[in-house]
């Protein structure tokens, strides 16, 4: 199993290019199921998760042409040969579940495994299923699979979500494009990736308005066609590098950064005493911290445009070395503090009580072997390792490879000292 060896203490100076957004790419790839014409996605991040979804799409009969190392992915679902998404594929990556609605819309039926729990909480799919049922799908759950059919076809529906779910909003929006009549989604999630998906679907001939607000309207059309779409830049990757620079100190500029999508994080970094120059027109974010210690600030995760849950672990790493006590509240997922005990191994002082973590900043962290537990948790350990004195070894970094493209190359180009080692866990 690969691991990362980090020698901490070096400042970061230089520029980091932001890759295409994983969370957007995954849903854009699924959109190819809605048409028999080719879809070309550019600015694709080559990650374990996107490669993995490509394999599932191939199982369903999609022709995928995406050579290694290239950022353009061609998808052609001219003919589907299966409408079954097996357990092994959906369990490993929850976003695979979003093929269900598009398969029903395209083929009239589908059998898709339930995703099951995940490390960061129960994460049910009840809102996804309610939306599909409202659109006329008959659903049965048998042996861990959702068996779905819409003999009469799907029809538009008025769906009021009980909470804003990114996945359920996207799933309902994808499916509604081919349903007859109008679908209205209320209390929809407002994450920027939803707008990116709507833009692509509209280029394919869909009629979607309101994406990015809490009410989305979809006028169903009979057929969608092929298109080319550039995946939006990854705001979570960008936010992660911003925090790495803030933790290590130095002067880093992020290029191709979705500045407008990072308002809440930028505000928190400034509150913590980091100098942030945001240029929306140029899509650059410059992060500077020279010598002065960070100030502790409180944060509470919220649906967009609030502070993203996907940056909570990274912010905790940062607050571990801040001056004072910071209270970090996680309101989106019920079990998303697994990084806290690992950060403690580096000397952080963190007390978790329920949905809250009380972080008492310490002047210095010291390197230690630690274990990655999920995608965002693992990168928080890298950030802490960069700020720590001495050597940190992050084990189980396959979590990291799910969502960060060329992480060590990007950080090392700015002066970090990170090596990837192969072999057994320590
Ligand atoms: C997406 C992102 C993930 C991010 C999360 C919240 C992708 C691939 N993943 O995940 O990185 O952390 O948004 O910003 O885009 N819920 C239900 N029932 C449902 C669906 C969700 O109760 O049917 C709950 C979840 O358990 C969670 C909350 O709603 O507590 C938010 O989840 P959701 O927005 O759906 O997250 P994902 O789409 O799974």
Is 112 in contact with 103 (CB distance < 8 Å)?
Answer: yes
Q: Are residue 177 and residue 243 in the same domain, yes or no?
A: no
229 inside domain = no
426 inside domain = no
Asked whether the CA dihedral 205, 209, 212, 214 is positive or negative, the reply is negative
- Residue in 112, 163, 167 to alter for ligand 1 test, most ligand atoms within 8 A of Cβ: 167
Is 197 in contact with 101 (CB distance < 8 Å)?
Answer: no
Is 237 in contact with 308 (CB distance < 8 Å)?
Answer: no
148 inside domain = yes
What is the chain's Cα-based Rg?
22
Give residue 301 CA to ligand 1 midpoint distance, Å. 13
Q: Are residue 148 and residue 270 in the same domain, yes or no?
A: no
Q: Are residue 217 and residue 115 in the same domain, yes or no?
A: yes
Closest ligand 1 atom to 189 CA: 34
Residues 6+ apart with CB under 8 A from 185: 131, 159, 161, 169, 172, 173, 176, 215, 216, 217, 218
Give residue 294 CA to ligand 1 midpoint distance, Å. 31
Q: Are residue 180 and residue 72 in the same domain, yes or no?
A: yes
The residue written with tokens 């005990």 in the block is 341
226 inside domain = no
352 inside domain = yes
Last residue within a domain, chosen from 196, 221, 246: 221
Q: Is 379 annotated as a binding residue?
A: no
Burial letters 238-253, b for 16+ CB under 10 A, else e:
bbbbbbbbbbbbbbbb
* Per-residue confidence (pLDDT) for residue 424, from 0 to 100: 55
Question: Which range marks the domain in which residue 78 is found?
Answer: 22-221
Is 50 in contact with 288 (CB distance < 8 Å)?
Answer: no
d(CA 353, CA 388): 25
Provide, for the chain, the percentages of residues in helix, strand and coil under a 3-state DSSP scheme, each rounded to the nearest 5: 35, 30, 35
Residues with CB under 6 Å of ligand 1 are 23, 26, 94-95, 121, 123-128, 163, 165-168, 189, 309-310, 332-333
Distance of CA 423 to the CA centre of its chain: 28
Q: Please give the angle made by the CA atoms of 89, 423 and 366, to the nearest 5 degrees.
A: 100
Q: Is 126 annotated as a binding residue?
A: yes
Closest residue by CA, ligand 1 atom 26: 123
The secondary structure of residue 232, as a DSSP letter, is P
Q: Is 94 annotated as a binding residue?
A: yes
Closest ligand 1 atom to 165 CA: 34
User: Running along the chain, 426 residues long, what does each successive block of 10 average in pLDDT?
Assistant: 93 98 98 98 95 96 96 97 93 92 97 77 85 97 94 95 97 98 98 98 98 98 98 98 97 98 98 98 96 95 97 97 98 91 97 96 96 88 97 91 93 97 65
Last residue within a domain, chosen from 167, 195, 221: 221
Asked whether the CA dihedral 410, 383, 28, 116 is positive or negative, the reply is positive
Give residue 123 CA to ligand 1 midpoint distance, Å. 7
Query: In total, how many domains does the chain have?
Result: 2
* Per-residue confidence (pLDDT) for residue 121, from 0 to 100: 59
Q: Are residue 118 and residue 206 in the same domain, yes or no?
A: yes
Distance of CA 199 to the CA centre of its chain: 18
* Per-residue confidence (pLDDT) for residue 116, from 0 to 100: 67
Where do the H-state alpha helices sit in 258-321?
263-271, 312-319
Q: Are residue 145 and residue 268 in the same domain, yes or no?
A: no
Q: Are residue 369 and residue 295 in the same domain, yes or no?
A: yes
Structure tokens at 366: 């010291």
Determine the angle formed by the axes of helices 235-248 and 22-31, rounding to 10 degrees.
170
Write the Ramachandran bin of 153: left for phi over 0, alpha for psi from -120 to 50, otherwise beta.
Answer: left
- Tell me how far CA of residue 143 lies from CA of 61, 86, 122, 146, in angstroms: 24, 12, 18, 8
Closest ligand 1 atom to 123 CA: 26
Q: Is 17 exposed, middle or buried (0-12, 13-18, 19+ CB in 10 A)?
A: middle
The residue written with tokens 């083929």 in the block is 107
Residue 401's domain is classified under what CATH number? 3.65.10.10
Q: Are residue 241 and residue 300 in the same domain, yes or no?
A: yes
Terminal-residue alpha carbon distance, the chain: 10
Q: Tell me, yes or no, if 118 is annotated catalytic.
A: yes
113 inside domain = yes
Q: Are residue 340 and residue 355 in the same domain, yes or no?
A: yes
Among residues 32, 118, 200, 414, which one is catalytic? 118
Q: Is 203 annotated as a binding residue?
A: no
Structure tokens at 318: 């940062």
Closest residue by CA, ligand 1 atom 3: 310
The secondary structure of residue 93, as a DSSP letter, is -
Give residue 132 CA to ligand 1 midpoint distance, Å. 17
Closest residue by CA, ligand 1 atom 15: 23
d(CA 34, CA 208): 15
Phi, psi of 191 (to 5 degrees): -60, 145
Q: Are residue 80 and residue 141 in the same domain, yes or no?
A: yes
Q: Are residue 259 and residue 271 in the same domain, yes or no?
A: yes
d(CA 426, CA 422): 11
Give residue 166 CA to ligand 1 midpoint distance, Å. 6
pTM over 0.75: yes
Closest ligand 1 atom to 332 CA: 30
Q: Is 425 annotated as a binding residue?
A: no
Q: Are residue 69 and residue 206 in the same domain, yes or no?
A: yes
Long-range CB pairs of 360-363, under 8 A, 24+ apart, other chains included: 360/324, 360/325, 361/294, 361/296, 361/319, 361/320, 361/321, 361/322, 361/323, 361/324, 361/325, 361/326, 362/320, 362/321, 363/293, 363/321
227 inside domain = no
Burial letters 64-84, b for 16+ CB under 10 A, else e:
bebeeeebebbbbbeebeebb
Is 361 in contact with 320 (CB distance < 8 Å)?
Answer: yes
For the segment 307-323, what is each residue's pLDDT rounded down to a tens digit?
Answer: 999 999 999 999 999 99
The secondary structure of residue 65, as a DSSP letter, is E
Last residue within a domain, chosen from 221, 247, 273: 221
259 inside domain = yes
Give residue 323 CA to ligand 1 midpoint distance, Å. 33
Q: Is 23 annotated as a binding residue?
A: yes
Closest residue by CA, ligand 1 atom 5: 166
Give residue 5 CA to ligand 1 midpoint distance, Å. 32
- Tell me how far CA of residue 217 lies from CA of 32, 185, 304, 379, in angstroms: 21, 6, 19, 37
- Residue in 123, 161, 172, 173 to alter for ligand 1 test, most ligand atoms within 8 A of Cβ: 123
């Amino acid at each position: 199993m690969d691991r990362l060896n980090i020698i901490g203490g070096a400042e970061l100076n230089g520029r980091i290019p932001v890759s295409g957004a994983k969370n957007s790419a995954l849903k854009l790839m699924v959109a190819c199921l809605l048409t028999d014409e080719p879809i070309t996605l550019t600015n694709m991040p080559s990650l374990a998760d996107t490669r993995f979804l490509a394999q599932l799409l191939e199982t369903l009969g999609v022709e995928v042409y995406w050579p290694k190392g290239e950022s353009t992915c061609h998808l052609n679902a001219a003919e589907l040969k299966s409408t079954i998404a097996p357990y092994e594929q959906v369990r490993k990556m929850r976003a695979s579940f979003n093929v269900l609605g598009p398969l029903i819309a395209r083929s009239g039926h589908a059998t898709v495994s339930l995703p099951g729990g995940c490390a960061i909480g129960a994460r049910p799919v009840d809102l996804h299923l309610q939306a599909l049922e409202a659109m006329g799908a008959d659903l049965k759950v048998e042996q861990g699979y959702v068996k779905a059919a819409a003999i009469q076809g799907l029809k538009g529906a008025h769906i009021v979500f009980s909470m804003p779910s990114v996945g359920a909003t996207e799933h309902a929006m994808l499916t509604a494009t081919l349903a007859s009549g109008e679908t209205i989604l209320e209390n929809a999630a407002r994450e920027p990736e939803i707008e990116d998906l709507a833009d692509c679907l509209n280029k394919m001939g869909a009629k979607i308005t309101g994406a990015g607000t809490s009410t989305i309207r979809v006028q169903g059309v009979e057929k969608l066609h092929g298109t080319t779409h550039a995946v939006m830049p990854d705001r979570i990757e960008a936010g992660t590098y911003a925090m790495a620079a803030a933790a290590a100190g130095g002067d880093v500029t992020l290029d191709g950064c979705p500045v407008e999508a990072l308002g809440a994080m930028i505000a928190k970094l400034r509150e913590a005493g980091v100098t942030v120059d945001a240029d929306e027109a140029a899509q650059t974010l410059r992060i500077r911290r020279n010598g002065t210690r960070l100030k502790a600030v409180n944060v509470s995760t919220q649906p967009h445009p609030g502070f993203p849950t996907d940056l909570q672990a990274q912010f905790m790493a940062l607050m571990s070395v801040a001056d004072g006590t910071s209270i970090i509240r996680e309101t989106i997922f019920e079990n998303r503090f697994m990084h806290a005990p690992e950060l403690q191994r580096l000397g952080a002082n963190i007390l978790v009580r329920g949905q809250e973590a009380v972080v008492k900043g310490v002047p210095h962290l010291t390197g230690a072997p630690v274990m990655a537990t999920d995608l965002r948790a693992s990168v928080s350990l890298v950030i802490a390792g960069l700020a720590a004195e001495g050597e940190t070894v992050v084990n189980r970094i396959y979590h990291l490879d799910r969502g960060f493209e060329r992480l060590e190359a990007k950080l090392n180009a700015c002066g970090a000292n990170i090596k990837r080692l192969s072999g057994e866990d320590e």
